[in-house]
Amino acid sequence: MKATGKKAPRARKAKKATKAAKASKAKSTKNAVICLKRHCSGSEILIAACDEELLGKCIGDGDVRLEVDRRFYEGERVDVRLFLETLALATIANLVGPDTVGAAIEAGFVDPACVLRINGVPHAQLFRM
| Beta carbons of 83 and 103 less than 8 angstroms apart | yes
**CB burial readout 54-83, b (16+ within 10 A) else e:** bbebebeeeeeebebeeeebbeeebebbeb
Instruction: Per-residue pLDDT tens, the chain, 129 aa: give them.
Output: 344 444 444 444 445 445 544 444 444 436 899 999 999 999 999 999 999 999 999 998 788 899 999 999 999 999 999 999 999 999 999 999 999 999 999 999 999 999 999 999 999 999 998
| Domains in the chain: boundaries | 18-127
> pLDDT digits over 79-88, tens only?
999 999 999 9
CA torsion sign, 9 to 15 to 21 to 113? positive
Pick the CATH number of 18-127 from 3.40.50.2300, 3.40.50.620, 3.30.1860.10, 3.30.70.100: 3.30.1860.10
Name the pTM for this structure. 0.77
